[in-house]
Amino acid sequence: MPDLEAKAARLAAVIYTGISLALAALFLAGTFLTGRSYTMVARIGGTVWVFILTMIITMPIVIPYVKKKVVG
């Protein structure tokens, strides 16, 4: 059983980190595609902020879902 829980934890971490990275990249791309001029500090700061907030939001959602699917 501990092996399944460890597998579920690793899989959940990959999923919520992937979601967070994708949304942060989307935010960064959006800063370039809007045509407005933002400083690099604003772009990077906003990207980091989006990444952190997305991690906070997706962790408690993804972990139980994946654990339920893997462990049963």
Q: pLDDT by residue (tens digit) across 13-60?
A: 999 999 999 999 999 999 999 988 999 999 999 999 999 999 999 999
Q: What is the pLDDT of residue 1?
A: 56
Measured at the alpha carbon of residue 18, what is the angle toward residues 52 and 7, in degrees to the nearest 5?
A: 110
- Helix axes 2-33 and 40-71, enclosed angle (nearest 10): 150
Q: Give exposure, 43-62, as e/b (b: 16+ Cβ within 10 Å).
A: eeebbeebbeebbeebeeeb
Three-state secondary-structure class, residue 65: helix
Token pair listed for 11: 């899989």
